[in-house]
């Protein structure tokens, strides 16, 4: 038999043997039970791999777990805690009215499958997972907690949990106590409690105590209006770099011991608006807050804090203990009520400096220094809180400027008078919002505490009301030309547009609100205010005219009126229709006309300018009788010359005629003009 054949036979034998063994060997159970039992209408089994399985009782579709009030009553925690590494809950397993201590003390359990667990009937889940110190994950997204009122210590000392997964049905609206809820969850690096409804919660003591791996925590939406106890709420949250508690309502809180103690990484804590009027104990409240540099306690009322002589029951003892970088505490109150109070409030706050420069002194750390620093005469460690008010004109077309104004919180002061102006608008005051939707203040109002933020800035925006406007229209009132209407604002002075109208024979003398001049008069270009106060109205100003006065002069030109030889002048306004004046008389002459142009007395004449009328005369003709003496040449008047001049030509002709013995005849020839 060759090698190949022997190898094949060996393999075949091995295969057959294996089959035979498998047929005759007894069947082994999958896992052996360590323990089992019942709880309520459920059964539970712990197998030898450390899995605790909880199911409805055999033959039942659902089951409800039993309940207990202390951990020693747990059917598995006390005897088998070291054996249980995993928990599995089957479908339709209900938590009873109380789920208190349900999985508490399972300190070796690393994971839980709770997808089948129904918590909708439960009202108390306190300590449900407390001391599950080896859990590395926890998904309770299926939990319905709408009826739960107590969640105290629910996850306390789950030291290895990095996070907890909550679902939409994790309803905390009826919960009244959350004390120690996440206490000592040292491994938590993230925790979303932002949707928690805390409106009914009265106790938050140690809620996040020693959550030392959390770097952030959003509790800004917490309603703390019912809370009375906050002792150690954030104590030892030593990695928290930010924490917004500014909106907390602390009006009912009576105890704040160790509230922020050992929050060593927090650079700031805004508690400036907190109402501490009911607080009786503040021991160690800010102790070991080593990154804290400033605290604003301006609004804090410590009047009800316990003032017993014993240091250990004294309500302010070690309040700022070893907060070594704390330099400024803002407060305007004096916390000292007696000379026998604690000597240990500021111990270790070595960087403290009061508002007037008083520096920390290890020998002076008592409540006697818990007041605003008064310098060497009255040293203290508190500082008055300053803030600044800025003024905004709130309009691009506004003019003027205003300096910032310094205020001290707690002290009333009048606002600086507005120096802004705006054409067409009335300043109505200030508002904290540009659109006027904020808080309003009158000009120069006395104000106090416009912000609670130390060194904060408040901007006040000028508020403007548009003034009523009206229109001035200009009427030429028989003149010519054009002028645009002019816009005016009620309450503001403005010069009228210069007149652009003209009227022949007239001078412009101003404006009047009535065409006939019976109203109110205004000079050309006058500065006017409030011709009306009616918004949108139109005021018409009518041009007023003075007719030009012209002088009509009558020159008698050698004549006279009853012996008066002076010219006579008469003044008439432009356009006056007159009758030409009566003619003068002149011995030896006949009045011909008024020259300039040609007018006779009584003729109609319209005055349009200064004018002089000159009397025109014709000398009366003289006829001489014949003489027996030697004929002489007789001088005849020039009939065409009203002034009686004797032209040389006529003289020569007369002389020739006389020489011939003829008779000289004067011819009466009147020039017609």
Residue-range domain boundaries for the chain? 386-466, 469-547, 549-619, 623-673
Predicted local confidence at residue 309, as pLDDT = 63
CA distance 531 to 483: 18
Could you tell me if 163 and 188 are in contact, meaning their C-beta atoms sit under 8 angstroms apart? yes
Q: In the numeric block, which tokens belong to residue 447?
A: 């104000």
Dihedral angle, C-alpha 201, 205, 210, 215, nearest 10 °: 40
Q: In the numeric block, which tokens belong to residue 391?
A: 């003024």
CA distance 333 to 371: 6
Predicted local confidence at residue 453, as pLDDT = 82
Instruction: With a cut of 90, say whether residue 589 has pLDDT above it.
Output: yes
Predicted local confidence at residue 575, as pLDDT = 92
Q: What is the mean pLDDT of residues 71-80?
A: 93
CA distance 632 to 577: 54
Say yes or no: domain 469-547 is CATH 2.60.40.4270. Answer: yes
pLDDT-derived band at 454, boundaries 50, 70, 90: confident
pLDDT tens string 379-411? 999 999 899 999 999 999 999 999 999 999 888
Predicted local confidence at residue 631, as pLDDT = 43
Of residues 341, 366, 371, 367, the one with CA closest to residue 354: 371
What is the DSSP track for 213-278?
Answer: T-SEE--TT---TT--B-TTTTTT-TT--EE--TT---TT--B-TTTTTT-TT-S----TT---TT
pLDDT tens string 81-128? 999 999 999 999 999 999 999 999 999 999 999 999 999 999 999 999
10 backbone dihedrals φ, ψ, rounded to 5°: -65, -45
* pTM, to two decimals: 0.65
In order of 30, 46, 49, 84, the CA distances from 91 in angstroms are 22, 17, 21, 20
Predicted local confidence at residue 254, as pLDDT = 97
In order of 500, 574, 603, the CA distances from 610 in angstroms are 26, 10, 18
Q: What is the mean pLDDT of residues 203-223?
A: 97
Predicted local confidence at residue 199, as pLDDT = 98
CA distance from start to end of the chain: 183
Q: 85 or 4: which carries more pLDDT confidence? A: 85
Q: In the numeric block, which tokens belong to residue 314?
A: 């004294």
Residue 562 zone, left/alpha/beta (φ > 0; ψ -120 to 50; rest): left
pLDDT-derived band at 344, boundaries 50, 70, 90: confident
Predicted local confidence at residue 17, as pLDDT = 33
In order of 205, 471, 505, 524, 543, the CA distances from 516 in angstroms are 91, 21, 18, 17, 10
Which homologous superfamily does the CATH classification assign to the domain defined by 549-619?
Answer: Listeria-Bacteroides repeat domain (2.60.40.4270)
CA distance 320 to 4: 91
HSE-up of residue 613 (Cα within 13 Å, Cβ side): 27
CATH topology of domain 386-466: Immunoglobulin-like (2.60.40)
Of residues 403, 434, 406, 402, the one with CA closest to residue 419: 402
Q: Is 3 in a helix, a strand, or coil? A: helix
Instruction: With a cut of 70, say whether residue 3 has pLDDT above it.
Output: no
Predicted local confidence at residue 315, as pLDDT = 87
Predicted local confidence at residue 314, as pLDDT = 79
Could you tell me if 432 and 425 are in contact, meaning their C-beta atoms sit under 8 angstroms apart? no
Instruction: With a cut of 80, say whether residue 467 has pLDDT above it.
Output: yes
Could you tell me if 472 and 529 are in contact, meaning their C-beta atoms sit under 8 angstroms apart? no
pLDDT-derived band at 24, boundaries 50, 70, 90: very low
pLDDT-derived band at 32, boundaries 50, 70, 90: confident
386-466 and 549-619 share one CATH topology?
A: yes
Instruction: With a cut of 90, say whether residue 49 has pLDDT above it.
Output: yes
The DSSP code for 326 is -
Average pLDDT, the chain: 88
The DSSP code for 6 is H
Could you tell me if 408 and 372 are in contact, meaning their C-beta atoms sit under 8 angstroms apart? no
pLDDT tens string 623-665? 776 655 444 444 444 444 444 433 333 333 333 333 334 333 3
- Among 51-55, 321-325, 636-640, the range scoring the smallest mean pLDDT is 636-640
Q: In three state form, how does the secondary structure of 15-76 look?
A: HHHHHHHHHHCCCCCCCCEEEEEEECCEEEEEECCCEEEEEECCCCCCEECCCCCCHHHCCC
649 backbone dihedrals φ, ψ, rounded to 5°: -65, -45
Q: Which residues pair with 542 in a beta bridge?
A: 475, 512
Residue 8 zone, left/alpha/beta (φ > 0; ψ -120 to 50; rest): alpha
CA distance 203 to 193: 16
| Helices and strands (DSSP H and E) totals, the chain | 3, 35
pLDDT-derived band at 336, boundaries 50, 70, 90: confident
């Amino acid at each position: 038999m060759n090698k190949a054949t022997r190898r094949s036979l060996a393999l075949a034998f091995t295969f057959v043997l294996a089959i035979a063994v498998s047929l005759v060997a007894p069947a082994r159970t999958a896992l052996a039970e360590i323990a089992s039992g019942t709880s309520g209408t459920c059964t539970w089994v712990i197998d030898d791999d450390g899995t605790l399985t909880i199911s409805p009782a055999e033959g039942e579709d659902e089951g409800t777990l039993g309940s207990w009030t202390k951990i020693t009553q747990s059917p598995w925690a006390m005897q088998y805690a070291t054996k249980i590494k995993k928990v599995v809950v089957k479908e339709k397993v209900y938590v009873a009215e109380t789920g208190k201590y349900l999985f508490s003390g399972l300190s070796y359990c690393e994971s839980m499958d709770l997808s089948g667990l129904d918590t909708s009937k439960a009202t108390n889940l306190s300590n449900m997972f407390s001391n599950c110190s080896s859990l590395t994950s926890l998904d309770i997204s299926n939990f319905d907690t709408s009826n739960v009122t107590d969640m105290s210590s629910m996850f306390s000392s789950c030291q290895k949990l990095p996070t907890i997964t909550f679902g939409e049905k994790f309803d905390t609206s009826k919960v009244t106590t959350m004390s120690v809820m996440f206490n000592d969850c040292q491994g938590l690096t993230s925790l979303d409690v932002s949707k928690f409804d805390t409106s009914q919660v009265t106790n938050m003591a140690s809620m996040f105590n020693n959550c030392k791996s959390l770097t952030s925590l959003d509790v800004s939406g917490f309603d703390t209006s019912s809370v009375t106890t906050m002792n150690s709420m954030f104590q030892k949250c030593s990695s928290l770099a930010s924490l917004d508690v500014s909106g907390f309502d602390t009006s009912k809180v009576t105890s704040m011991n160790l509230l922020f103690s050992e929050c060593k990484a927090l650079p700031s804590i805004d508690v400036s608006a907190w109402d501490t009027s009911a607080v009786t104990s503040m021991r160690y409240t800010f102790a070991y807050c080593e990154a804290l540099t400033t605290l604003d306690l301006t609004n804090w009322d410590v009047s009800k804090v316990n003032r017993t002589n014993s240091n250990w029951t004294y309500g302010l003892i070690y309040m700022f203990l070893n907060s070594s970088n704390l330099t400024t505490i803002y407060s305007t109150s004096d916390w000292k009520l007696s000379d026998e109070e604690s000597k240990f409030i500021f111990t270790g706050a070595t960087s403290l400096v009061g508002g007037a420069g008083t520096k920390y002194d290890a020998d002076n750390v008592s409540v006697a220094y818990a007041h605003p620093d008064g310098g060497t005469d009255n040293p203290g460690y508190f500082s008055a809180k300053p803030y600044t008010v800025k003024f905004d004109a709130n309009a691009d077309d506004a003019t003027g400027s205003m300096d910032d104004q310094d205020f001290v919180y707690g002290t009333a002061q009048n606002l600086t008078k507005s120096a802004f102006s705006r054409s067409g608008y009335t300043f109505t005051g200030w508002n904290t919002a540009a659109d006027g939707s904020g808080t309003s203040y009158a000009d120069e109002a006395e104000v106090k505490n416009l912000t609670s933020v130390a060194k904060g800035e408040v901007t006040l925006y000028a508020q403007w009301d548009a003034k009523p406007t009206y229109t001035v229209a200009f009427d030429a009132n028989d003149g010519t030309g054009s002028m645009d209407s002019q816009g005016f604002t009620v309450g503001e002075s403005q010069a009228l547009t210069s007149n652009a109208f003209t009227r022949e024979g007239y001078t412009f003398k101003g404006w009047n609100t009535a065409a006939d001049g019976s109203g109110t008069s205004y000079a050309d270009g006058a500065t006017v205010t409030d011709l009306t106060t009616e918004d949108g109205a139109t005021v018409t100003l009518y041009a007023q005219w003075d007719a030009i006065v012209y002088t009509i002069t009558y020159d008698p030109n050698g004549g006279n009126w009853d012996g008066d030889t002076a010219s006579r002048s008469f003044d008439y306004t432009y356009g006056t229709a007159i009758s030409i004046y009566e003619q003068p008389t002149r011995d030896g002459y006949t009045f011909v006309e008024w020259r300039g142009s040609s007018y006779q007395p009584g003729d109609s004449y319209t005055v349009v300018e200064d004018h002089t009328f000159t009397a025109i005369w014709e000398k009366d003709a003289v006829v001489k009788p014949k003489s027996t003496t030697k004929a002489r040449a007789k001088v005849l008047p020039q009939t065409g010359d009203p002034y009686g001049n004797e032209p040389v030509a006529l003289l020569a002709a007369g002389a020739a005629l006389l020489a011939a013995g003829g008779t000289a005849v004067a011819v009466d020839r009147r020039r017609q003009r």
